[in-house]
Structure 1
Amino acid sequence: MSFELSPEHNEFRASVRDFAQAEIAPYAAEWDRKHHFPVDVVHKMGELGLFGLTAPEEYGGADGDFTSLCVAIEEISRVDQSMGITLEAAVGLGINPILTYGTDAQKQAWLPDLVAGKRLAGFGLTEPESGSDAGATKTRAVLEGDEWVVNGSKQFITNSGSSITSVVTVTARTGERADGKPEISTIIVPSGTPGFVAEAPYDKLGWHASDTHPLSFTDCRVPSANLLGERGKGFGQFLATLDDGRVAISAVALGCIKACLEMSVQYAGERKTFGVPIGAKQGVAFQIADLQVMAHAAEMLTYKAAALKDKGAPIKEFKQAAAVAKLYSTEAAVTATRIATQVFGGYGFMEEYPVTRFYRDAKILEIGEGTSEVQRMLIARGLGLPVE
């Protein structure tokens, strides 16, 4: 099975790279410093068609493949992870659940603006006491007449409280199954619904230009028609959603690794000590060589998983590939930023150099959309091991 990108993919990559260099790279440091979410750039990404890459033409999309989305995420993340994760979450966590499980009416109501990049959607899964243990959801939705009444809270939700956020899909307990376990369903909650509050944004270690909020729901009422997919199928829906998201996060990490490689090669060729470029020193050169290995390996794993998605591979095979790609690429990205910072020496500790921002941004890659520990558990289960 070949994972080489087609000429069309490479041509698309070039166009996204040009956009990222012109519209994002010159301003990323300022956005990071000011914790600014650049709505105007999100709109420009929409005009370029990035949010609609995998959506059908009837909703304004390109009806393209998953690989194209990963290419776009990689290239945006190569200059700024905040904008990379904005795209990843907008499509993978915002658009995809509605596109995959929504009714025709729900799709017509929400997708056109989301696909165009005029609006954003969030995915409310994580809670204060249920991160990796997502089945321990405490948020509840009770059906009263023709309305769902939602009470609870969510945390660390991307694209959930911006000025252009139109809707958040929320997992909630809607009853109890026959085996005594909670029945979990997904409810669509529009922004501005009474009782739904996007609390103040987090003061984060990294991803300063990404929109991230805790959410609270207090007697929040939405129509019964806002149930997304089948009642009681919410758990399976978000697991499938996260499988795709893990590959997309791997693409974010890949962009990070490639950026570290490029910055390190350039700096090591220019910076001189004892009369020669530091890249002439084996101690530095070997570390940069390791970055090249990481970039190649992460690229192969990411696009192998994307290719499996595009060809409709068996779920078990795709889940395993997604977990492997996410685990390796994200851990490699954290290592890559550490190496790049070391190559830059004292300058790597100064905010005037992008490597510092990449160092801060990378850590969350090992945590979001399934921690490294969860990925190892999934991989072990895929191997048939009796992991709890």
Structure 2
Amino acid sequence: MNDLALGGEETPHRVSASMAVHGRFFVVTCFGLVFLNCLTFLYHFTGSSVFNVLSNSISLLLISWSAYHVLVTREGGAFYKILLMLACIFTGTSYLVNFGAFELSDGLKLLSIYSFYVAGRTTPERLHRSEKRCIYALAALPLLFKVVGQTKVYTGIEYPDVFSYFPNTNTAALYFSALFFAVSPWFGNKVLIAQFVNAAIMNRVGPALATIVAIGLWSFFPLRPQVFVALFLLAIASLAAYALGALDRLITGLNAIALIWSLDPSTIARMSTKQLIDLTGTTDMSAFFRITHWTNIWQIYSSLGLGGILFGYGASQTGVLTVLPLPPHNDYLRVLAEYGLLNCVIFVVFVFSIMFSLKERAAKTMYTVLLIYFLSENLIDNFTSMTLFFSYAGRFTSPKWSPAE
């Protein structure tokens, strides 16, 4: 059994030590995340930046812990290690091309996704009970804060949708989705019910729609005769709904979006909410602002030279360069524009190859929710959620993975 990529044959003592390190990866990671979230709790409860510095330090230690496993083991899959290496090269080149306009912490967050996944594949053991307790603790901490505290960090009119110590309910919904994904081998399809409860409590349409689409997608595959019958009935139902006018509201919304798309982003930025409502006939502004922002991002990115196209305009620079001072609210577009085409190709290949490697339906569905949610939010920024999703995805796709008893 060769677990250390140090060359030569291993002694029994070395093999035993290596296996011990492998077996501790998830336990240490989960305890680290609990400690990190306790510090986050205290940071928002007190407003003291000391706790923020300490929580960031824990994040760096956990990234180093995952990197250690990547470097010293032969497990993890050569394909994914190659993707990690290419991501490091392209992100490093993006940093050099955009020197002085590149947030290193954002680049590290992106690379850590690959690192946690590869490290997770090195641990084939079943889930430990201590991990389960840690996940319960991670679920309890924000709920406890909701009861006893009020954030002293996310304040003011720019944070109208705070939940516990999360900046908004989208971030909170993602956090609990990551917890459900991690425990999916224990609870199976029950986590999908919990996900709908999660979306209802957070009052977010996005997670609910993403869950419905994900469930529908993996109900269709593998293709069976019943699937084609269902698609035929769905087509008939859609035509009937259109004839009866049930889709008028959807069509009106799409027309309004097309109108917004045709306008210059700077024009939209100067318009008041009332003017936008009068123009489009709807009060749902979130989709319009996203589309306007995406259009502006694409205009900037597509106007770059070859170097910019390949390596982007720099991590975290979207809010600086665009008319609206906001991050992209689309992680695929974010990686493309801020890190470049080469990084985007690697990222897309990476995240979608994982989806097709997951075997258990509940885990595959919850992971697909994440990929859909990437289209409308800034999820890469959420360290705990990304750590849980990708480290456990690594474990669940490991050739040696054995589900919990």
Q: What interval of TM-score do these two structures reach, taking the shorter chain for normalisation?
A: under 0.3
Return the index of the structure with the highest Cα Rg.
Answer: 2
- Which structure has the higher relative contact order (CA within 8 Å, separation 6+)? 2
Normalised by the length of structure 1, the TM-score is 0.26
Normalised by the length of structure 2, the TM-score is 0.25
